[in-house]
Structure 1
Amino acid sequence: MFFTYLRRELRRRRKAALVVASGLALGIALVIVVNSVSNGMGKAQDKVLQSLYGLGTDMTVTKASEPSTSSSQRPRFQFDARNSDDDSTQSSDRVMVQGFTTLASSTVAEVGDQKGVSNAVGGLSLTVFKVSGQFTRGQFQQDQQGGGMPSGGPGGGSSGQPQGEVRGGGADFDINQYTVYGTDVTQTGLGPLTSSKITSGRTFKTTETDAKVVVADSAYAKEKKYKVGSTVTVKGVKYELIGIATADSGDSAANLYIPLKQAQTLADQKDKVTTVYVKATDSQQIDVVKSAIQKNVSGTTVTTSADLAKTVSGSLSTASSLATSVGKWLSIAVLVAAFLVAGLLTSSAVSRRVREFGTLKALGWKSGRVTRQVVGEAVVNGLVGGALGIAVGLAGAYAVTAISPTLQAQLGSAGGQTGGAGGPGGGGFMGGPGRQTAKSLEVALTAPVSVTTIAVAVALAVAGGLIAGAFGGWRASRLRPADALRRVE
């Protein structure tokens, strides 16, 4: 009887039911699209931060910033004087630590011993400046006076030496800068190299702690025409290229990767690291682990992904802010409005059905049965609205993913202070404690729809139906048969 009456009433009032369902559908569709875009923003931001940290890294530990005016931080190049008549090409490499600050290698073990730390790995970030070119010898040209005789004469104040000047000559040098990251080959599960995939050759073996081997970033290898088996020379040391890595995020952490001991030797930084990459045992306790490291390991700065996320600017940050604030508040406002409209329409429909409900009560229907009938109709309207909303929301999310708009993310700003967001970097990676270089990335926006989002949409549809039914049911329960029949026109 209940379902028969329900089906008949919904068919008879299909226009009103469609209006209620459409209002709920609009609110639910907006919630799905906003949540999906927010999820896409989160994935895009994770992709950006992944290029800094690498997979599996929860935080980094660097040396606390210390102002220094030491001239040793400036790259200096020296060339030997040569007496050869031939112009010769000269070159010089200068290997410098990114950020100019280092930590003792013992800090890695100290950080790893802290409560809540699952693993800690050290790395050394280097920048190599290579200056190469040649000096061109100038030509002395003698002044010609009096048939080529030197000017002056006895008593003329002349020294008797040919007079003239050196013309031509000079120098033509090119500066090539690239980054090198010294990685702990015994623990490859942490650090920037984990954000890249070996696409040719192989990665390091755990036994190659001090071997002269190198892995190159694919973009850098293409630029220099390196292949697996090629020889790469850094500061006069020849390394065998064993693998080529392609960054998953589209931007590599460094141009070259070598074993940590080799990097320490090149930079004359024995038992030193620039960054400690940390993995927490529980991702929900990152702030607790950060506090423990800052408290127990002196002279360090701890930077989490949340800290780095605050430095992300550009269209990605703007869009994320809009989706988080304006989008969510807008969806909430639309939902509230849809629920209120559904409730008012249902209540209004009950008022127009006074004769019907009065007759039913006169025939013996209890108030509870009438209320259940009204609530049932409202819930069905809510479920229909939910189905329409889910369909429209999925279509909207698919459209965003199909269009895949490109967003720009800028990490930090030139000369900004990050308080230790250091690490390896290629072409603008964060340079170390207290130093930050702007780094721009482009990411494609997607709108993935999760099962949780669908579940929320269904829950909202049922809630909307219940709220509308509550309005109408309360109104219907207050009708008395005599009052209802008295109002029959």
Structure 2
Amino acid sequence: MFGIYLKRELGRRKKAALVIALGLALGIALVITVDSVSAGMTQAQDKVLKSLYGLGTDMTVTKARSAPKAGSSQGPDFTFDAKSSSSSKQSSDRVMTQGGQALSSSYVTKVGAQKGVASAVGALTLNVTKVDGSFTQGKAKSSTSSSSGSQQQGGTSSGGGQPQVQGGGADFSVNSYSVAGIDVTNQDLGPLATSRITSGRTFTSAQTNAKVAVVGKSYAKTKKYKVGSTFKISGTKFTVIGIATPDSSDSTTDVFVPLKRAQTLGDAKNKVTTIYVKATDSQQIAAVKKAIQSHISGTTVTTSADLASTVSGSLSTASDLATSVGKWLSVAVLAAAFLVAALLTSAAVSRRVREFGTLKALGWPSRKVTRQVVGESMVNGLIGGALGIALGLAAAYTVTAISPKLTAQLGSGSGGGMGGPGGGPGGGPGQQSASSSMEIALSAPVSLTTIALAVGLAVTGGLIAGAMGGWRASRMRPADALRSVS
């Protein structure tokens, strides 16, 4: 009886049911769209952050450089041998640690021993400036013209004119690139974690001090390196065993070598410039940061949340809009949709005075009348939910298909950023002196949680409308029906 009556009443009031369903559908569709776009913003920000601090890295530990002493030279110096040949090629490498102050490798053990730390690895960032070219000696020639002139004026000349050097000079080129020394026994954490090997292979755990290198894709293309190529750093010959391609952005690291070999190149035995840390629980990152700072003084601990605050540009603006304006707009529209559905349902009940009064006169209890109204409202809500999900999915698909480009401006980090060999701007923590930007394609993924939220909202809307209409219907008396008879 309930189902038959429900079907007949909904069929008799199709327009009113459709208006209620569409109102709920628009509110639910907006919620789905805003939620999916917000999820896309989160994914985009994750891509930016992963390009800066590396996949699986929760925080980094660095130490700011101390101010240079008065009178000390911080610039590179180059020494060339004096050779007697008229044209000789010269080459000199200047290798300097880059990023924060070099830390003792024992700090890695200390950090790894802190409560809440799953693993910690050290890395050493170097900057290599290579100057090579050739000197050409000039040739000394005496001035014959001055010699002849002096003879004409004064008679005799004792030795001819003064010799003059003609020709000669220098032709040098400068090549500057970054080198990251990594712990080959744990490559899932640290600089190389942000890249994948697209040619050749990566390091083995036995190559802790091997003269081998993995080269970044862009640098390999510039220098025309491929697997098997060789190059020298300060006289040490390295063999390229792999080409690394960054996962989400162009890496600022050009060459990766084993940590011990990098320490030898940079004259930094048992030193690291960055410690990459992974926490046992993402919810304990703040506590781990506090523990490291309290037990290891003088260091700067930077988490992904700290670094996120330095990301600006259209990505940050759009994320703020989606979080604040978009969500509040969704709540307002959804509340309005619920209110309209409730008012329309209540108005429909008012027009059915004779019907409900007659049913009560025939013996229907108030709870049965209320159940009938709530049942009709629930069906309207479910129809509105289905339409809203369809509209929301269509909107999310449209955003993903268009894939609008957003820019992420990576500003200067304070106190040592988490940028580093893994691909952050500036080449190392604390070296983000200049901002750089990257483009991210926005998508709008719709999760099962979002769909479940939409269904819940549809049911809630139906219940709210049904509760108001049912309450009004339950208060009607059979006498109301008799008075409405014309």
**TM-score tier after normalising by the smaller chain length:** over 0.9
CA distance in 2, matches of 1:431, 1:193: 13
Say if 1:139 and 1:275 are closer, same or farther in 2 by CA, change over 3 A.
same
| Contact kept in structure 1, 2:252 and 2:425, CA below 8 Å | no
The one-letter amino acid of 2:414's match is: Q
Residues 199 and 244, structure 2, Cα contact 8 Å, conserved in 1: yes
Aligned to 1:478: 475
Number of aligned residue pairs: 485
Is 2:28 the partner of 1:31?
no
Once residues 422 and 130 of structure 2 are traced to their aligned partners in structure 1, the CA distance between those partners, rounded to angstroms, is: 17
- Structure 1 residues 281 and 100: CA distance shift in structure 2, 3 A: closer
Q: 1:12 to 1:161 in 2, by over 3 A?
A: farther
Partner of 1:187: 186
Question: What's the % identity of the aligned pairs?
Answer: 67
Q: Note the aligned Cα RMSD (angstroms).
A: 2.5
Q: 1:476 to 1:170 in 2, by over 3 A?
A: farther
Once the 2 structures are TM-superposed, how far is the Cα of residue 352 of structure 1 from its aligned partner? Answer: 1.2
Letter in 1 for 2:387: L
Instruction: Using structure 1 for the length normalisation, give the TM-score.
Output: 0.92
What pairs up with 1:462-473 in 2 under 5 angstroms? 462-473=459-470
1:209 paired to 2:208 = yes
Paired residues of 1:431 and 1:437 also in contact (CA < 8 A): no
- SS of the residue 2:78 aligns to: coil
Greater Cα offset, 260-269 or 477-486: 477-486
> Structure 1 residues 24 and 79, CA, compared in 2 at 3 Å: closer, same or farther?
same
1:181-330 equivalences under 5 Å are 181-252=180-251, 254-330=253-329
Residue correspondence of structure 1 range 310-389 to structure 2 within 5 A: 310-389=309-388
Name whichever of 398-407 and 448-457 sits farther off.
398-407
Matched, 1:112 2:117: no
- Give the deviation of 1:447 after TM superposition: 1.0
TM-score by length of 2: 0.93
Q: CA deviation at 1:148?
A: 4.1
User: Per the alignment, in what secondary structure is the counterpart of residue 233 of structure 1?
Assistant: strand
Task: Please report how far the alpha carbon of residue 232 of structure 1 lies from its aligned counterpart in structure 2 after TM superposition.
Answer: 2.4
The one-character-per-residue Cα deviations of 1:320-361 (angstroms, maximum 9, x if unpaired) are 111111111111111111111111111111111111111111
- Deviates most, 401-410 or 343-352: 401-410
Distance 1:139 1:486, change over 3 A: farther
Secondary structure, aligned partner of 2:127: strand
- CA shift in 2, pair 1:127/1:425, >3 Å: farther
Structure 1: which 5+ runs fail to align? Answer: none
Q: Please say if residues 63 and 299 of structure 2, whose CA atoms lie closer than 8 Å, have aligned partners that are also in contact.
A: yes
**Cα gap change, 1:137 to 1:3, in 2 (>3 Å):** same
1:96 is paired with a residue of what secondary structure? strand
Instruction: List alignment gaps of at least 5 residues for structure 2.
Output: none
Amino acid in the other structure paired with 1:417: S
- Decide whether the 8 Å contact of 2:314 with 2:407 is kept in 1: yes
Are the equivalent residues in 2 in contact too, given 1:36–1:449 (CA < 8 A)?
yes
Whether the 8 Å contact between 1:65 and 1:419 is mirrored in structure 2 is no
Structure-1 residue corresponding to 2:78:
77
State how far apart, in whole Å, the 1-side matches of 2:350 and 2:330 are. 30
Q: Which amino acid aligns with 1:243?
A: G
Partner of 1:446: 443
* Structure 2 residue aligned with 1:459: 456
Given that 2:90 and 2:132 are in contact with CA atoms closer than 8 Å, whether structure 1 keeps it comes out as: yes
